[in-house]
Amino acid sequence: MLDGGIKEKFLTLKQIKFNPFKHWGIISDLYKQSFPKEERIPFFGLGSYH
């Protein structure tokens, strides 16, 4: 049985899939949290460079 956190993440990903631009802030934050600053590459060319 999936715990609430995992289920919530899947729901968020499902919402992002249907409207990525509406949820760009969420995607961007998740991306920034997933990679240390020095390992980050521009995300689809739209990442911030600072």
Per-residue pLDDT tens over the stretch 1-48: 455 566 666 666 666 566 666 667 877 787 777 776 666 565 555 555
Q: What does the pLDDT read at residue 50?
A: 45
Q: Could you tell me the pTM of the whole model? A: 0.28
Q: What does the pLDDT read at residue 34?
A: 75
Type of residue numbered 11: L
**23 contacts 16 by C-beta, under 8 angstroms:** yes
Report yes or no on 48 lying in a domain. Answer: no
Domain that holds residue 29: 4-39
Listed in sequence order, the DSSP H helices in 1-50 are 4-18, 24-34
Report yes or no on 44 lying in a domain. Answer: no
Report yes or no on 47 lying in a domain. Answer: no
Report yes or no on 31 lying in a domain. Answer: yes
Q: Which residue has the higher pLDDT, 16 or 49?
A: 16
Report yes or no on 49 lying in a domain. Answer: no
Q: What does the pLDDT read at residue 33?
A: 79
The CB-side HSE value for 18 (13 A sphere, CA atoms) comes to 5
Report yes or no on 45 lying in a domain. Answer: no
Domain count along the chain: 1
